Amino acid sequence: MKLDEQRASDNVEDRRGIGMVGGGLGVGGIVIALVAYFLGVDPAVVSDVAQQVATQSPGSSREAPHGAPKDEIGQFVSKVLGSTEDVWGTLASRSGSRYRAPTLVLYEGQVRSACGMGQAAMGPFYCPGDERLYLDLSFFRDLQRRFGAPGDFAQAYVIAHEVGHHVQKLTGAFQKMEAARARSQAEQNRVSVRMELQADCYAGVWGHHAGTMNQLDSGDIAEALNAATAIGDDRLQKEAQGRVVPESFTHGSSAQRVRWFKRGLDSGRPQDCDTFAAASL
């Protein structure tokens, strides 16, 4: 990516190296242990998968720094976040509204959020309760080594996908998920797939406009498509259990994730990302 001219966002909270801090659960709180796939996991949505009461260590008294970190990877994520803010801010103003930017929290190992306890093994996630994106940077290594999806734009796609969930929070899409939870697990899974594919499409919308701002290198799009393919439910289930169970999908197949990312990428229009109105995904 070409981010030299991109401003770095100040909406970054760097909790790396200082333990668990910030709002969230106190002693004896509920720890949310998610059995879900990487990218776009929302603890508020799947918290009923597995919960247990645990005693948590007191938070650090050291305050987490806010603003763009100075290290190379911190600068990268801050500039990607800044790019998403510029794109979604412009799109919101065109529709007569104002974009409220999320905060990106960098952490190591585990983290408290308004949605419960997050762990690196969960992968990146967005919490609608505090409008924060949570990212353990070790996931970028997993993305390359475990999933075979290297490249800086693959990493940017991860961030843009989580920002897509924030856009859903702002537009009220999370209400559909809450309604589905009250009906059945099967319906919850179906709605979850549409939520995740819409977030992929929104990531594509950002990618479209990043391209118009000359922020993409040759090969960047291929990196993102490779990442979308690598974390499809069908591929992950096949690798983990040797078989595919479509009714248990929560994020969509590799083909679906690629399709909806490309849809947003090609058009650059958020209104083209209405997966809930789509007869076929």
pLDDT of residue 46: 40
Q: What are phi and psi of 198, to 5 degrees?
A: -65, -40
**Domain assignment of residue 114, yes or no:** yes
Q: Which two tokens stand for residue 123?
A: 């992968």
Virtual torsion, Cα 274, 276, 280, 281, nearest 10 deg: 70
What total number of domains does the chain contain?
1
**Domain assignment of residue 24, yes or no:** yes
Give, for all 281 residues of the chain, the pLDDT tens digit: 999 999 999 999 999 988 665 443 332 222 333 334 344 444 444 443 334 333 344 444 578 999 999 999 999 999 999 999 999 999 999 999 999 999 999 999 999 999 999 998 888 999 999 999 999 999 999 999 988 999 999 999 999 999 999 999 999 988 887 777 768 888 888 889 999 999 999 999 999 999 999 999 999 999 999 998 988 887 778 777 888 877 777 788 899 999 999 999 999 999 999 999 999 99
d(CA 97, CA 14): 29
d(CA 38, CA 241): 16
Q: Which two tokens stand for residue 278?
A: 């789509």
**Domain assignment of residue 62, yes or no:** yes
Say which residues have a Cβ less than 8 Å from residue 277's Cβ, sequence separation at least 6.
Answer: none
**Domain assignment of residue 225, yes or no:** yes
CA atoms within 13 A on the CB side of 182: 4
Which residue range(s) make up the domain with 169?
A: 12-273
**Domain assignment of residue 50, yes or no:** yes
**Domain assignment of residue 134, yes or no:** yes
**Domain assignment of residue 278, yes or no:** no
d(CA 169, CA 39): 17
Q: Which two tokens stand for residue 276?
A: 């809930």
| Digit-coded pLDDT (tens) for 89-102 | 999 999 999 999 99
